[in-house]
Structure 1
Amino acid sequence: MSITLHTLGLPRIGKARELKTALEGYWKGGLSETDLAATAREVRGENWRLQNRQGMSMVNVGDFSLYDHVLDTSFLVGHIAPRFAAARVDRELDRYFGAARGLADQHIEPGAMTKWFDTNYHYIVPEIGPSTRFEARPAALVDQIREAREGGYTPKVQLLGPVTYLYLSRGIDGFPVLSVLEDLLSAFRGILTSLAEEGIRWVQIDEPILVLDTLNQDWRQALARSYAVLGRSRAIPGTDEAAGSDSQDTPKLLLTTYFEDVEEELETLLALPVDGIHLDYQRNKGLLDTVLEGLGPDRVLSLGMVDGRSPWREHIPALAEELAPLYQDLGDRLWLAPSCNLLHLPWSIAGEDLPRELEGVLGFGVEKLQDLSALGAVLEGHSNHLDTIQNRTAPWGSEELEDSADDLVDRQDSSTREALQAEALGLPRLPTTTIGSFPQTREIRALRRAWTRGELGAADYQAAIRDVIRENIRIQEEIGLDVLVHGEPERSDMVSFFAERLDGVWASRGGWVQSYGSRCVKPPVIFKPVSRKPDLGWEWVTFAQSLTKKPVKGMLTGPVTILKWSFAPPNVAPQVIANNIARALREEVLELETQGIAIIQIDEPAFREVLPLKRSRWSQALDWAARAFRLSHSGVKSETQIHSHMCYSDFNSIFQGIKAMDADVISIETSRSKGELFAELAEKGYTQGLGPGVYDIHSPLIPRTEEIRERLERALAHLDPARLWVNPDCGLKTRTWQETRPALEALVAAARQLREARKPRQA
């Protein structure tokens, strides 16, 4: 009996970030559409070759994207927001990128962007309204199918399922997104028919909302209806209705879930008329007996056997022993895969200089497929594969840390702190600032590379960084910002920079992971208890403060974000690691305060990611996350103002945690969400300082003063002007100075106009 091996998707940025380079070249006008398409084809080809080399039975088509797979789904089903459909573009490709990044020449804003479930991947949110219509547009997908076949591969097509697509959408002005389901299913039906005409046998259709514990009956009925229409001929359990197609005119469907168990929706899942089901093995082990009972005699069970979000390698002999009875029972109806799409891991560990503790236990995407292939070979009786498989155990387990924050020092109440800080800082109403980073110019990147490679001495490097900081301060003072930053020219990445300065954390050279579009991050690996080296960069901040009489913010990445944007050991509770990191950061926070820094920003853009996908577990997660944040600034004086920054989150879901963080000011993303949050925050009684992001830094659009003023007025209609700050929605490292300076000038102008308009009139 042979086992089918397959993937749920591979990284699409390229093993050396080739697609990132090509995308940014195209956006800047230095690369043609033809050249971009050639790079895309090379990346797809490399992914297919990897799958073929590692013994995958099929290669995935549809997992590749030039920006985002949810946005791709929108274009696949002909759903383009009206402002983009009406835009004047020379190429359809520019309409696609316009939906993701905006169209600066026509001042058309991009679609909203938010996190994909509990990951650090971001997707473009579909907008559903009364005018929404769908139609099948499978041409680009069909081209990739033919491309794979030309390479000699058997393609399996990957689609985002229709119900998850709607669940992730935003109803315009409260429009009910499920009201368009039938029209969307018609488009999906057309796509599946086209795939059948291409001879596609299997389609992987992703419905990850089945792992949630919050689906109501409407969503369950939507799932049942969808697969009644899209499934192959099979009676739908509990009804007299037959599924929507016979075995000849649509491919078989492998319904795929990931990231969590399906306990709450297992009955819903098993009742769907699909030809196979994929589950994360480790998270669903306790449900397998029930799954097997409901699977029936002809359906496939695909199990995610290697963790697609963790770099820790699997113990293959133990897994093989566990799976052997299931393999004997199911035979060729047992498929093996990673637990989820491998886009959440870097390409390969090859070529990295690993610490001794990580040798043999760490692997990225390539190595995950090697482990999967080895597992399949062992199950099929090729025992010689066992000779090269080590008993891989992640480190840290023998060095347990206490799960406590007994050294947490409570601060004075917020109103007392507010009065003391107002007197100490002397800021105007609606103070203006930025989130922290300034453009990472070509010159800055070259400078950092030269220093890293040893081509530039430390003294020369430090002198050059000081020159950049001087210029950053000069520009901010010219613009008229009230609270300044040093601009972070010494930092390549907000987590990697700190990882390199913390013992117990390993930072790779080339372990890049896509966050959105061409934006990549390099998650470090936490492998033993964390401690601070001599400093985390406070000297750059204090140098910047010496250049100006205005306050300069100290900038740190918070403990929750360092944890969530790193790869953590699987056998240690997250709160233990978070508290450990917080104590290391606290040393830096207190040093900044000692050096006269009066405002310290501890960024937590990943705070929303602590929430489990099961809502029933939220309260506990928010409790430990907020406690870790408080621990990171525990012991500071009441006069020291603690800021934090969050981006692209559902803030209502973490409001309990935000209040418990006890920060003095929170800056948040509101530019793409049109400021819809303000009334809800007011209703919930939010009383701390708030810096709503007044323009979107992820788009090349330069905001107008009147647009920023309008957004601030929406906030002022609900929130106390004495506590409102004015800032962009995120750091500015990815923008150019040609974009940044006029945007900040508009921001300052809007704040000044509102201050003037709200001045008390003289009697």
Structure 2
Amino acid sequence: MKTTVTGFPRIGKNREWKKALEIFWAGKISEEEILQEAQNIQQQHFGMMKDLDFVPIDFALYDHMLETSFLLGVLPDQVQKSSLSHLGKYFALARGFQEKSVDIKAWPMKKWFSTNYHCVRPKISPETTWEADLFFLEYKSTLVKQNPNRRWVIPGPYTFARLSIIEDVPEHEWQQKLLQAYHNLLKRIPGDVQLDEPALVFDMTNREKELFLAFYESLSSYGERLFLQTYFGDVRDIYEELVQLPVKGIGLDFVEGSENLSLIEKFGFPPEKMLLCGIVAGKNVWRTNYEKALSLLGRIASYLPRENIVLSSACSLLHVPYTIEGESFPEEIENGVCFALEKVEEIRQLALLGDILHYQDHPIFQKNREMISKLTARDRDSLCLQKLSALSEKDFQRALPVEQRLPLQKEVLNLAPLPTTTIGSFPQTPELRKLRKGFQENVLSEETYKQEIKKMIASCIKTQEELGIDVLVHGEYERNDMVEYFASFLKGMTTTKNGWVQSYGSRTTKPPLLYGDVTRVSSMTVEWITYAQSLTTKPVKAILTGPITIINWSFCREDISLKEVAYQIALALREEIEELQQKNIRIIQVDEAALRERLPLRKSEWQSYLDIATSAFRLATSTLLPEIQLHTHMCYSEFKDIPEAIEALDADVLTIEASRSELDVLESLRTYSQKRDIGPGVYDIHSPRVPSAEEIETFIQKLLSVIPVEHLWINPDCGLKTRKESEAYASLQHMVEATQKIRKNLFS
């Protein structure tokens, strides 16, 4: 059997690409130098995958959807005609650009299916030029020519269309132009091409199936070198037609694709085509059970020749860290963890075992069986289980409905109309990172570290007061990450030293491992929040990360139910919230930024997940007194089709990303904002671009056309930790100026 992976991490084994990007954006290296660094990192990756039969070229300088837009020519006329260089245009659409006469807003982002990776959403409009940027084609083609067993990876036309924003262009027109752009691109690409079509795992209407089939029938002349790759689920709606397409091979996910094996058994698989079998998970870090995987392969091998079976990861390994090398894990899981490089080795070992008649006797198989046995033999926490069994319906309900709570809260808080606030974090400066590193490496004492953090909190409070912000935050300087920080206070979770995963562009996170029953070890935020509140008469929000976001931004155990894990974390947060409440903290924000991340891709499976997610949130927050205001924050999650779930959270104030979505989400929340408060982000914090006060004022006026003034809050899209202080403070100043002007016009 042959071997491959669907994709590979891009950020660099030691985050080399993240660092190179940030140095480049700071103007400290040239375009030639950043491109050379990209080539160097990709060659290193090829070396890591040298034992595979087929190696993907899926590296993107920022994002694969954005890169494909340049390859196809799906670019705004404003950008094409600008004086910026090729890379300048590329990063302008990724991050925004503002200088002299050039002012380019970044394209929106959205979660890449059911992952924490954020992709850029291309825009197809009457201003789209459809002129391909051959710079990116030439750059990538060099890698293909130098490496004959490599295949170029790009999103396929159906997925590209499903994720794009299409504005004011007739359907037949954009479809024809998009298809011609793919023709032009495929003519120029040397060698095999992997077209990723994860959108096939969505529910598909007949019209969508017709569109997909029309795309690939038109591309049939390239079929002898096309691999069509699906992942994140099964292809039940299109399988029969899919396997008959004129392509060289088809990739199916046998980890999350619950129906794919039965589809093969029911309808067969063309023996002349290659089947890329995704049998090693690409979204979690637990070792593959070789016994189950080889049993599955045996069933598949009865339908086509073994030489046409290619063992692969179920999806790109982009979603897991590079390697466990140098890591240490709790004894219960020390041999059960597997990152990207170890997953490549798993694929190689499975191919070896798959060609052996009595593989059960092989040492590799026996060692795997032993590791899996230890991983599944973990003891349960009896006290934790008792708490879960004692829960009743009243544990999920606040004392009063929101219509009665909000007036009480507004009387206590006494805020101005259109209250201003931020989401939580303030810029993480080089000085802060140095301080944190010194503490972690025992260069600084805990006492010195805390004193320095408190100085930063005091400065943050003073800055917000000077800016005129109404509801303050403490800046989150003690937190390395909104999930990793909390994991360090929770039994049953562990963190890594270098387990970085790309979220978007140069942004990386270090997801913890959730491996046992979860309980709170000690207070997590109380010391910092109460100190910040002692410095001001204005309310300071306590910021916590919600149960579902902690799960979705961790590598979560799979041997117990999602409901059990979510309720365990909710009970731990409940203890923290009760302690904050006792300290007279008047506003508590529980962020569920990743509410939608684990949402099943098929709508028929949504409700059970949403019931668990909303119940866990209510379990964590139900003991709040009516006069304590409960906020929640969500970002880049598209809520227009789950308004009932947002309502079910029973928060008092919802803050959401809105500036890049251009109010698309707000219409769906019009009803929500009639009885609850809402704070749609008025500017994009993921861009270094600083909006003017006039721009923000115009945006707030648009918000007021949808949301009653008595229910509208003014805030940025998200936390400010990724921004420079100069960018953050200038934007906040403009936000406050715009708000004060509108207040004066409305109420004077």
Pair in the same fold by TM > 0.5 = yes
**Partner residue, 2:103:** 107
Is the 1:396–1:529 contact (alpha carbons within 8 Å) kept by the matching residues of 2?
Answer: no
Q: How far is the alpha carbon of 1:349 from its aligned partner?
A: 0.9
**Partner residue, 1:347:** 322
**Partner residue, 2:31:** 33
Is the 2:55–2:151 contact (alpha carbons within 8 Å) kept by the matching residues of 1?
Answer: yes
**Partner residue, 1:49:** 47
- Which residue identity lines up with residue 127 of structure 1 in the other structure? K
Is the 2:418–2:739 contact (alpha carbons within 8 Å) kept by the matching residues of 1?
Answer: yes
Is the 1:709–1:751 contact (alpha carbons within 8 Å) kept by the matching residues of 2?
Answer: yes
Is the 1:210–1:269 contact (alpha carbons within 8 Å) kept by the matching residues of 2?
Answer: no
- Which residue identity lines up with residue 664 of structure 2 in the other structure? E
**Partner residue, 1:516:** 504
Which secondary structure does the structure 2 equivalent of 1:520 belong to?
Answer: strand
- The CA distance in 2 between the partners of 1:345 and 1:491, in whole Å, is 22
**Partner residue, 2:5:** 7
Q: What does 1:282-681 correspond to in 2, within 5 Å?
A: 282-284=255-257, 286-288=259-261, 290-291=263-264, 293-327=267-301, 329-381=304-356, 383-386=362-365, 388-391=367-370, 392-393=372-373, 394-395=375-376, 399=380, 401=385, 402=388, 405-406=391-392, 407-681=395-669
- Which residue identity lines up with residue 739 of structure 1 in the other structure? E
- The CA distance in 2 between the partners of 1:689 and 1:658, in whole Å, is 12
Q: How far is the alpha carbon of 1:137 from its aligned partner?
A: 4.7
- Which residue identity lines up with residue 365 of structure 1 in the other structure? A
Q: Does 2:240 align with 1:257?
A: no
1:418-465: CA deviations, max 9, x gaps? 111011101010001100111111111100100010000011111111
1:326-374: CA deviations, max 9, x gaps? 3364221111100001100000111101110111111110111111110
Which secondary structure does the structure 2 equivalent of 1:303 belong to?
Answer: strand
Aligned length: 731
- The CA distance in 2 between the partners of 1:495 and 1:437, in whole Å, is 13
Q: How far is the alpha carbon of 1:399 from its aligned partner?
A: 2.7
- Which residue identity lines up with residue 385 of structure 1 in the other structure? I
Q: How far is the alpha carbon of 1:229 from its aligned partner?
A: 1.2
**Partner residue, 1:740:** 728
**Partner residue, 1:235:** none
Q: How far is the alpha carbon of 1:110 from its aligned partner?
A: 0.7
- The CA distance in 1 between the partners of 2:231 and 2:257, in whole Å, is 10
Unaligned runs of 5+ in 2: none
**Partner residue, 2:695:** 707
Q: How far is the alpha carbon of 1:388 from its aligned partner?
A: 4.2
- The CA distance in 1 between the partners of 2:530 and 2:522, in whole Å, is 16
1:563-585: CA deviations, max 9, x gaps? 10001111222121111101101
Which secondary structure does the structure 2 equivalent of 1:645 belong to?
Answer: strand
- The CA distance in 2 between the partners of 1:79 and 1:88, in whole Å, is 18
**Partner residue, 1:125:** 121
Q: How far is the alpha carbon of 1:297 from its aligned partner?
A: 3.1
Q: Out of 427-436 and 183-192, give the one that drifted further.
A: 183-192
Is the 1:507–1:524 contact (alpha carbons within 8 Å) kept by the matching residues of 2?
Answer: yes
Is the 2:123–2:166 contact (alpha carbons within 8 Å) kept by the matching residues of 1?
Answer: yes
- Which residue identity lines up with residue 342 of structure 1 in the other structure? L
Q: Does 2:681 align with 1:693?
A: yes
Q: How far is the alpha carbon of 1:379 from its aligned partner?
A: 1.0
- The CA distance in 1 between the partners of 2:185 and 2:225, in whole Å, is 13
- The CA distance in 1 between the partners of 2:576 and 2:490, in whole Å, is 11
- Which residue identity lines up with residue 97 of structure 1 in the other structure? F
Is the 1:276–1:302 contact (alpha carbons within 8 Å) kept by the matching residues of 2?
Answer: yes
TM-score of the superposition, structure 1-length normalised? 0.93
Is the 1:397–1:572 contact (alpha carbons within 8 Å) kept by the matching residues of 2?
Answer: no
Structure 1 residues 751 and 396, CA gap change in structure 2 (3 angstroms): farther
Which secondary structure does the structure 1 equivalent of 2:227 belong to?
Answer: strand
Is the 1:171–1:177 contact (alpha carbons within 8 Å) kept by the matching residues of 2?
Answer: no
**Partner residue, 2:218:** 229
Is the 2:484–2:510 contact (alpha carbons within 8 Å) kept by the matching residues of 1?
Answer: yes
Q: Does 2:87 align with 1:93?
A: yes
Equivalent in 56, 61, 66 of residue 60 of structure 1 = 56
Is the 2:281–2:313 contact (alpha carbons within 8 Å) kept by the matching residues of 1?
Answer: yes
- The CA distance in 1 between the partners of 2:690 and 2:132, in whole Å, is 35
Is the 1:220–1:268 contact (alpha carbons within 8 Å) kept by the matching residues of 2?
Answer: no
- The CA distance in 2 between the partners of 1:702 and 1:403, in whole Å, is 51
Structure 1 residues 110 and 677, CA gap change in structure 2 (3 angstroms): same
- The CA distance in 2 between the partners of 1:531 and 1:153, in whole Å, is 52
TM-score of the superposition, structure 2-length normalised? 0.94
Q: Does 2:197 align with 1:218?
A: no
1:76-107: CA deviations, max 9, x gaps? 10111223223231x21010000000112133
Cα RMSD over matched residues? 1.9
Q: Out of 712-721 and 382-391, give the one that drifted further.
A: 382-391
Is the 2:223–2:247 contact (alpha carbons within 8 Å) kept by the matching residues of 1?
Answer: no
Is the 1:403–1:576 contact (alpha carbons within 8 Å) kept by the matching residues of 2?
Answer: no
- Which residue identity lines up with residue 660 of structure 2 in the other structure? R
Equivalent in 224, 229, 251 of residue 278 of structure 1 = 251
- The CA distance in 2 between the partners of 1:277 and 1:562, in whole Å, is 34
- The CA distance in 2 between the partners of 1:496 and 1:682, in whole Å, is 34
Which secondary structure does the structure 1 equivalent of 2:609 belong to?
Answer: helix
- Which residue identity lines up with residue 117 of structure 1 in the other structure? F
Unaligned runs of 5+ in 1: 232-244
Which secondary structure does the structure 1 equivalent of 2:325 belong to?
Answer: coil
Q: How far is the alpha carbon of 1:290 from its aligned partner?
A: 3.6
- Which residue identity lines up with residue 495 of structure 1 in the other structure? V
- The CA distance in 2 between the partners of 1:507 and 1:176, in whole Å, is 50
Q: How far is the alpha carbon of 1:553 from its aligned partner?
A: 0.4
Q: How far is the alpha carbon of 1:384 from its aligned partner?
A: 4.9
Which secondary structure does the structure 2 equivalent of 1:523 belong to?
Answer: coil
Q: How far is the alpha carbon of 1:275 from its aligned partner?
A: 2.4
Is the 2:232–2:257 contact (alpha carbons within 8 Å) kept by the matching residues of 1?
Answer: no
Q: Out of 259-268 and 655-664, give the one that drifted further.
A: 259-268
- The CA distance in 1 between the partners of 2:355 and 2:468, in whole Å, is 69
- The CA distance in 2 between the partners of 1:403 and 1:14, in whole Å, is 45
Which secondary structure does the structure 1 equivalent of 2:640 belong to?
Answer: helix
Structure 1 residues 291 and 318, CA gap change in structure 2 (3 angstroms): closer
Is the 2:548–2:566 contact (alpha carbons within 8 Å) kept by the matching residues of 1?
Answer: yes
- The CA distance in 1 between the partners of 2:129 and 2:239, in whole Å, is 32
- Which residue identity lines up with residue 96 of structure 2 in the other structure? G
- Which residue identity lines up with residue 188 of structure 2 in the other structure? S
**Partner residue, 1:242:** none
Structure 1 residues 319 and 294, CA gap change in structure 2 (3 angstroms): closer
> Identical aligned pairs, as a percentage?
39
- Which residue identity lines up with residue 664 of structure 1 in the other structure? D
Q: Out of 566-575 and 398-407, give the one that drifted further.
A: 398-407
- The CA distance in 2 between the partners of 1:734 and 1:192, in whole Å, is 37
Is the 2:673–2:707 contact (alpha carbons within 8 Å) kept by the matching residues of 1?
Answer: no
Is the 1:280–1:305 contact (alpha carbons within 8 Å) kept by the matching residues of 2?
Answer: yes
Is the 2:75–2:131 contact (alpha carbons within 8 Å) kept by the matching residues of 1?
Answer: no
Is the 2:236–2:259 contact (alpha carbons within 8 Å) kept by the matching residues of 1?
Answer: no
